[in-house]
Amino acid sequence: MANPYTAPREAGVTSASVATPDDLAAYEADPTALEPKLPRTAAAASFFAAAMAMMAGWQTLDSVRLRGFYVVFPYLLLLLGGASFVCALALFRARAWAAIGTGVATGLLALVSSVWLLLAIAHGFFALYSLFTPPSALLSAILAVASINPVARASRLRRHFEAQGMRLR
């Protein structure tokens, strides 16, 4: 009869685990390394930027009739706002791919919303949501890029503990 209180299998731990001794030491010093605060702050900033972008896009589609290449901007704002929101959901859960995805999505959102803001103001269209979107998207992109290392560490620790038989989120 097998003892149910034995240590986890050691053979699977070394092959599936990629956590470094620094990762494990950081976890020993601070168990919140599995749920770092910086990615959650970046996710909150991305949620705000996504909401501002989607409201700016919807407001533009609802209030003015666009002609020429300008018609693509509200749709880009809606698309990039949705992408930022989806990536922020995963970043909030400290997924490794989400930090890069959020950085790219909100970086593109900052660029597109800045161009749209300049074009809209130059043609006499002033929207409050369009004013908040570029700085909030830029801040979100900066925070997402800064959270790449904490999210990668949390992901490595999560894989390490799952290899030992502990299922974490």
Residues 47-81: pLDDT tens digits?
999 999 999 999 888 877 878 777 888 899 999 99
Could you give phi then psi for residue 39, rounded to 5 degrees? -65, -35
Does this model's pTM top 0.95? Answer: no
Question: 117: which residues sit within 8 A by CB, 6+ positions away?
Answer: 130, 131, 133, 134
Q: Taking the domains of the chain in order of start, what are their residue ranges?
A: 38-163
* pLDDT-derived band at 10, boundaries 50, 70, 90: very low
C-alpha closest to that of 33 among 141, 144, 160, 155: 155
Dihedral (CA of 35, 37, 42, 48) sign: positive
